[in-house]
Structure 1
Amino acid sequence: MTLKALILAAGQKPLSSGTGALELQPLGDTTVLGHVIRNLKGLVAPRDVIVVSAPGTLKAVQMEVGWEPALVIQDTPLGTGHAVLQAADALAGFDGDLLILYGDTPLLRPASLRGLLNRHRLKSVSLTLLTANVPQDLPYGRVRRDEHGKILDIVEQTEADDETKAIRELNVGAYIVKAATILDALKRVAAKGGEIRLTDCVKQLLHSGLKVDSYQLYDVDEVRGINDAGDLEAAAFILQKRLFRPHRQEEENEVAFGTGGWRAIIGEGFTMHNVRRLSQALANEITRKGLEKKGVIVGYDRRFLSRQAAEAASEVFAGNNIPTILCNEDAPTPLINYATAMLGSGFGLAFTASHNPPEWNGLKVFHGDGSLLLDDETRVIAAETNALTTADVIKLELDLAIEAGIVAVKDFTNQYIDAVEALIDMDAIRKAGLRLAIDPMYGVGQLTLETLLTEGRCRCHFIHNRHNPLFGGRSPAPDPDAMRDLINMMQQDHYDLGLAMDGDADRIALLDDRGRYISFNDVLVLLYWYLHEVRGQTGGVVRNLSTTHLLERLAKAFGEKCTETPVGFKHIAAGMVADNALLGGESSGGLTIRGHILGKDGIFASGIVVEMVARTKAKISELQEKVWAITGRLYSAEENFPATPEMKIAIPQRLKKDPCTTVAGYAVERISHVDGTKLYLENDNWAQLRFSGTEPVLRLAAEADSPEKAAELIAWLKQFASA
């Protein structure tokens, strides 16, 4: 069944004196009319779009459309029905359906237009109109029905009595109708003279006995048209809000990178189709840069579909004549990172969703030096991925690729462990005879860490170490709540240390000999002190915006530099390279040091913590007292606040329009909007609001002179976020 679309954009109503027609007003990255046209993508062929325009706006409309649809001029504004009649010549000989839209209704979703069309075709009716049940009293026609739900009439608001005005079902103003049917009806209305309204014609069709149906909207935001500057501002807010709608990318089959790579729900956004498209985009980038001979390394963790995704990616690289190394078994992300840098590959791929819940999976992509791709690079890769179709993907079946030698299956475990051991004082660990309790959280960290620590003659007791892609029914994130089993074991059996890792083993958490959770802020400060004072190494430290300022105090005491970066270890790695820093870390459990990989490494982090305890022969609490004697104390507090799409727009707008001068009564010295909003107070105190790049939450963080003050700051942030 053929379909054409007719957009009525000849209103010429300016928003204010001196402005152009409202349909051509800027809205987001295009204009009001641009959004209406964009909503037709994939629904109507460009050659089948007709725009009715006012005189003098023809060129602007052509530029906005971006292709060459039929453009029709309405010289005299005699009503919306008259505007449709101007397209009669363009529709001559066309006997299919006509989708009629207004050029000032940019908020209709493409899915709603598809629903309207689908219902029209399945019901085999002559006319289908778009309706919505809206609680507000808006200036739209009311849809009057009989007791059986049959549409009887559309009553304009200006003509409605009190009973009709109480009807909440509105005529939104989008229709699908046979082109010949609507044009014949309009000609009959035109014969009466005067203004020709499209709704009068629709009412005539309703009363003529033709089969009529409707498709109902449930998102009231779609109903809003653009009539004034306030509507335009509200529309901009709604469009931005939709960008942050949970799973928007997955529903639209799009790949989008966050702070730690691409992550999506399995079966929703994480599909083999998207894995292959993303691999093709990466293969295209390698080919463009002439890096084919460098090849790629593809690894994976224990998550559901990780191995299958790695094999699918390998087939795509092989199909593009790019030599590929596929890891022979599930492996920690830092091992894949190390192997990528060791071989100087074109790219390294690690299929993992890190600490996300088990229903998620994803991909981290490394440069040949082992650093993660930066934001501007991932935006380009994602855009190319989303433009590709199944037909654009080139692949070679894995068995053929292995037989041909374009894909090789290899193991880097021993080389990686050797590299880690070269950075750790294994002799000191062997002499200490430590007893360790370790929880890899059903992830990939056990083999490498057990090998490392066993060679250090440690007595290791592992829990949650078998392969379980459901991670025991929880997120494999090493936070205090998830470590209760390990804490209990520590307290009962009196181990020297307790260690936990996340699902892909790039982050850790630490328990002291009493089973007390040590915040990773404190771990970073201890390690920076240890590297400088005990090992005798020099150099600055790099931390992100959400990590303790005690590192700054300690660096100052050492005469070194402390650099602050946005959240995301890729920024920390870049800062370390720029400053030749000794240590880089983040409060969420990740760190690396100069001379090791440009990514966080939970295996190495565990090893260096064990070395610190072995070499100093001191308890964690004793080491903390030594460091606090230099830095003083600061106390951290964090809380995750469920984030709605509206919050992601409204909170940054409020903070920028009305900058905070105080937080919980404490003076704000300066504000940073580099990554979320960070409010700097006196004496290295601070408070921060930042939307997560991997989960639908608003992260609240604070650091203050006392636990009570830190709690005050968090309480203020929560109140601000919920206002």
Structure 2
Amino acid sequence: MTQQQPAASTIDRGTAIVLAAGADDASRRLLVSPLGDSTVAELAVATVRKMFSPDRIIVVVAAGDTTLRALLGDDLTYVEQTEPLGTGHAVGVARAAVPADTDVVLVAYADTPLLRVDSLRGVVNRHQLKGADFSLLTAVVDQPLPYGRIERDEAGRVRAIVEVEDLDADEAAIHEINVGAYVAAPSDLFAQIDALAATGEHRLTKIAQRFLDADDVIVSYQIYDTDEVQGINSEAELALAADIVLKRLFVPTKNTDTSIVFGTGGWRAVIGEGYTLGNLRRLCQAIANEATRKGIDHQGVVVGGDRRFLSRESAVAAAEVFAGNNISVLLLPDDVPTPLVTFAAPYTGSAYGIIITSSHNPPEWNGVKVFRADGSLPLDDETDRFQDEANALRVDEVITLDIHLARKAGMVVDRALTEPYIDAIEKIVDVEAVRGSDLRVIVDPMYGTSQLTLGTILNDMRVRAEFIHGAHNPLFGGHAPAPDLQRLSSLIGMIENGKGTYDLGMATDGDSDRIGIVDETGEYISTNDLLLLLFWYLHEVRGEKGGVVRNIATTHLLDRLARHFGEESREVKVGFKHVTAGMEEIGAVLGGESSGGLTIRGWILGKDGIFACALVVEMLAVTGKRISELRSMIYEITGRLYTLEAGVPSTPEMRVAVPRRLAADPLTAVGPYAVVGIDHTDGTKILLENDNWALLRFSGTEPVLRMFVEADSPEKAQELLDWLKGFVTA
């Protein structure tokens, strides 16, 4: 197995003794049972490795045991307990293996694998700071567990540990338990073990009691996350531990866990926590390593940033890493839209396009999107390699070249690609057809990056365009720059107050890859309806034959329209990389998602809100119809379905409980409506009659459980959404 490296902050003169001999064969089998992507014993030892270097970790195993040695690695020290006399005896057999310069010993159990490193470090730290003779971990729990109880005196000092079998009625009501991790100087610890052994007793808790009886300085460190105390002494407890491990995977990263994790739209994290320049540099080093291994490093990379806080500094930092790895960089000046970088990768023949952005996330977030040479998003196996290698890199393994030297050497070249991007759009969108249409539109870029590019295109079309919220504001007006109904009140209000002044309202999100539309009356037009209009327009007016691809959360009316045209429709997982892959597979003319992203055949392999806005303007000019008129016409073909969606904060417990409840109690009906199928491809999609459906899906970019429904009537849609909410909160 791959050896784990010790943490940089190991306890220099400390030694850990991990008890893994087990009381019998059954307990030893549990130690090697799978838990998460590891085993019980591996998980316990992995935590200890974060505090102690391998040569100062002693694992006590049963006589003749080879399985644990193979699992845990040969860089640790192993001693055998030849007969199972007790936990104190197990610690005693490790005596000869403890390095002579050890000044503190931590004793931990391999069958308590959920202890966090902060808890173990906390008890060791308090022991040393307070000059204690003996220290132990405790926890206050609200359920009966088979642990000894902690008795304290009036001053709050620990005075006794009462074993479960010795509890009387009053003691059984005590909620503070002895977790079973201890710290002491080796000479004191082994002296007490010897003294107790002389009485024929070998339990470690009795040794702890000897320290208490001697009136030594005793320190306790309390655990507040009671999930940590879950021991593994039965299959049932193993199942409970597995739930806890799974739940922890979804806990938002905090100051001690700032790993880089890719979601459906790149890597995103809170600035100053997960998103740091240090993490960014490690990620860019991993991408540079991948390019070098694949032999595409000579192609160079394109790097740009949006208007978020730290985006410009991040773009420069990224450029320094690639230049430091002898990979040339085309650095886009100022702020740029994400679709421009998507376009730039194939346009310049670069190995990768890198954009610093967190898309529509709230202002305190930032992140990175990576595009391949053809402008497509990497699939999961590739982003997994990026994040895994980045997380394994140390700071001193990142190679950089100062930006001034890089520019002087020609390794970093500043170059704007706004004009080539606009020219490429205007080769596909019929600019001439729009001229003379006398259209007047209002645009809300939501303080994002679309004003220059979209403004230029609209000007070339001779469209009278008015922009709002165009200033550079990293706070985005105090809310997430997502072009949905709740955040476009200013745009809607201006159209309503204009009383026929405007033909169309358009919005783009923070990095301009999503679109929002408001019709001439001020009604917000869902992306589901917009996709229907554009599919009809492309197929029937522009004569571009082909099918349509949508994600699992997008309207089934697209399927109905495709059947009407005699074309294929395809449903894919959430994530635009899946949409573009599906488009290529069936030769689709349009691909989109209900959250505001779309592209067409022949354009970039990613969503583009700027291009989408230009195409909508073309559609209005060429057809001579308003959005409201086009919708009525399309509904005559497809009929109506009504969509609703909602989201609730997703706790780690929900991530475990909701899928389990769905699996344990297969649905046959949602209220009075019969279930005709269940799809677990991406979340859980409940299929009902007549293209009605309901979807539960945990977001890949935010800690949110999303709920989507589509039904024959608004009332039925609300009924389905209420049912989903009730199911989730039950």
TM-score range, shorter chain: over 0.9
What SS does the aligned partner of 1:108 have? coil
Q: Name whichever of 646-655 and 389-398 sits farther off.
A: 646-655
The yes-or-no answer on 1:74 pairing with 2:81 is: yes
What SS does the aligned partner of 1:21 have? helix
Measure how far apart 1:14 and its partner are: 4.9
CA–CA separation in structure 2 for the residues paired with 1:261 and 1:375: 10
Residue aligning to 1:488: 493
The yes-or-no answer on 1:6 pairing with 2:17 is: yes
The yes-or-no answer on 1:329 pairing with 2:334 is: yes
Residue aligning to 1:349: 354
Residue aligning to 1:314: 319
CA–CA separation in structure 2 for the residues paired with 1:46 and 1:463: 60
Residue aligning to 2:299: 294
Residue aligning to 1:23: 31
Map residues 76-95 of structure 1 onto 2, 5 A cutoff: 76-91=83-98, 93-95=100-102
1:430 pairs with one of 416, 435, 440: 435
CA–CA separation in structure 1 for the residues paired with 2:57 and 2:298: 47
2:63 pairs with one of 48, 55, 70: 55
What SS does the aligned partner of 2:228 have? helix
1:602 pairs with one of 609, 625, 632: 609
Q: Is the 8 A contact 2:650 2:705 kept in 1?
A: yes
Q: Is the 8 A contact 1:3 1:97 kept in 2?
A: yes
What SS does the aligned partner of 1:640 have? strand
Residue aligning to 2:245: 239
Residue aligning to 2:257: 252
CA–CA separation in structure 2 for the residues paired with 1:64 and 1:604: 54
Map residues 527-566 of structure 1 onto 2, 5 A cutoff: 527-566=534-573
The yes-or-no answer on 1:404 pairing with 2:409 is: yes
CA–CA separation in structure 1 for the residues paired with 2:73 and 2:671: 51
Residue aligning to 1:202: 208
* Deviation by residue 1:275-303 (Cα, 9 ceiling, x = unmatched): 00000000000100111111000010000
CA–CA separation in structure 2 for the residues paired with 1:573 and 1:59: 50
CA–CA separation in structure 1 for the residues paired with 2:167 and 2:403: 68
Give the letter for the 1:639 counterpart.
A
CA–CA separation in structure 1 for the residues paired with 2:346 and 2:631: 35
Q: Name whichever of 135-144 and 40-49 sits farther off.
A: 135-144
CA–CA separation in structure 2 for the residues paired with 1:41 and 1:590: 45
What SS does the aligned partner of 2:316 have? helix
Measure how far apart 1:166 and its partner are: 2.4
2:218 pairs with one of 212, 225, 229: 212
* Deviation by residue 1:578-603 (Cα, 9 ceiling, x = unmatched): 22211010000110001100000000
Measure how far apart 1:437 and its partner are: 0.9
CA–CA separation in structure 2 for the residues paired with 1:68 and 1:317: 35
* Deviation by residue 1:248-283 (Cα, 9 ceiling, x = unmatched): 5x6412100000000000000000000000000000
2:49 pairs with one of 26, 31, 41: 41
What SS does the aligned partner of 2:313 have? helix
Q: Is the 8 A contact 1:106 1:225 kept in 2?
A: yes
Q: Is the 8 A contact 1:13 1:22 kept in 2?
A: no
Q: Is the 8 A contact 2:20 2:61 kept in 1?
A: yes
Residues matched between the structures, number: 717
CA–CA separation in structure 2 for the residues paired with 1:590 and 1:407: 32
Residue aligning to 1:389: 394
What SS does the aligned partner of 1:153 have? strand
Measure how far apart 1:554 and its partner are: 0.6
Q: Is the 8 A contact 1:127 1:176 kept in 2?
A: yes
The yes-or-no answer on 1:444 pairing with 2:455 is: no
Q: Which runs of 5+ in 1 are unaligned?
A: none
CA–CA separation in structure 2 for the residues paired with 1:98 and 1:247: 30
1:712 pairs with one of 711, 719, 730: 719
The yes-or-no answer on 1:585 pairing with 2:592 is: yes
Give the letter for the 2:340 counterpart.
L
Residue aligning to 1:158: 165
Residue aligning to 2:231: 225
What SS does the aligned partner of 1:304 have? coil
* Deviation by residue 1:462-501 (Cα, 9 ceiling, x = unmatched): 1110000000000000111111111110011131000011
Measure how far apart 1:199 and its partner are: 0.9
CA–CA separation in structure 2 for the residues paired with 1:682 and 1:535: 33
Give the letter for the 1:467 counterpart.
H
CA–CA separation in structure 2 for the residues paired with 1:543 and 1:76: 64
What SS does the aligned partner of 1:328 have? strand
Q: Is the 8 A contact 2:15 2:102 kept in 1?
A: no
* Deviation by residue 1:74-123 (Cα, 9 ceiling, x = unmatched): 12111111111111221263542111011210111112111112212211
Residue aligning to 1:722: 729
Give the letter for the 1:52 counterpart.
V
CA–CA separation in structure 1 for the residues paired with 2:622 and 2:100: 89
CA–CA separation in structure 1 for the residues paired with 2:204 and 2:522: 74
Measure how far apart 1:165 and its partner are: 2.5
CA–CA separation in structure 2 for the residues paired with 1:11 and 1:215: 26
The yes-or-no answer on 1:32 pairing with 2:34 is: no
Measure how far apart 1:441 and its partner are: 0.4
Residue aligning to 1:266: 271
Residue aligning to 2:5: none
CA–CA separation in structure 2 for the residues paired with 1:173 and 1:96: 20
Runs (4+) of structure 1 exceeding 4 A deviation are none
CA–CA separation in structure 2 for the residues paired with 1:328 and 1:88: 64
Measure how far apart 1:713 and its partner are: 1.0
CA–CA separation in structure 1 for the residues paired with 2:729 and 2:576: 29
Measure how far apart 1:141 and its partner are: 1.5
Residue aligning to 1:617: 624
CA–CA separation in structure 2 for the residues paired with 1:585 and 1:403: 43
What SS does the aligned partner of 2:96 have? coil
What SS does the aligned partner of 1:431 have? coil
Residue aligning to 1:683: 690
Residue aligning to 2:116: 109
Q: Name whichever of 331-340 and 63-72 sits farther off.
A: 63-72
Map residues 170-185 of structure 1 onto 2, 5 A cutoff: 170-185=177-192
Give the letter for the 2:553 counterpart.
S
Measure how far apart 1:162 and its partner are: 2.6
Residue aligning to 1:282: 287
2:633 pairs with one of 626, 629, 642: 626
Give the letter for the 1:198 counterpart.
L
The percentage of counterpart residues that share the same residue type is 54
CA–CA separation in structure 1 for the residues paired with 2:433 and 2:538: 15
Residue aligning to 1:362: 367
What SS does the aligned partner of 2:292 have? helix
What SS does the aligned partner of 1:537 have? coil
CA–CA separation in structure 2 for the residues paired with 1:163 and 1:233: 31
Give the letter for the 2:182 counterpart.
Y
Give the letter for the 2:622 counterpart.
R
* Deviation by residue 1:177-228 (Cα, 9 ceiling, x = unmatched): 11111111100111112x4111111111122132110111000111111121
- TM-score when normalising by structure 2: 0.97
Q: Is the 8 A contact 2:307 2:474 kept in 1?
A: yes
CA–CA separation in structure 2 for the residues paired with 1:550 and 1:304: 40
Measure how far apart 1:158 and its partner are: 2.2
Q: Is the 8 A contact 1:62 1:68 kept in 2?
A: no
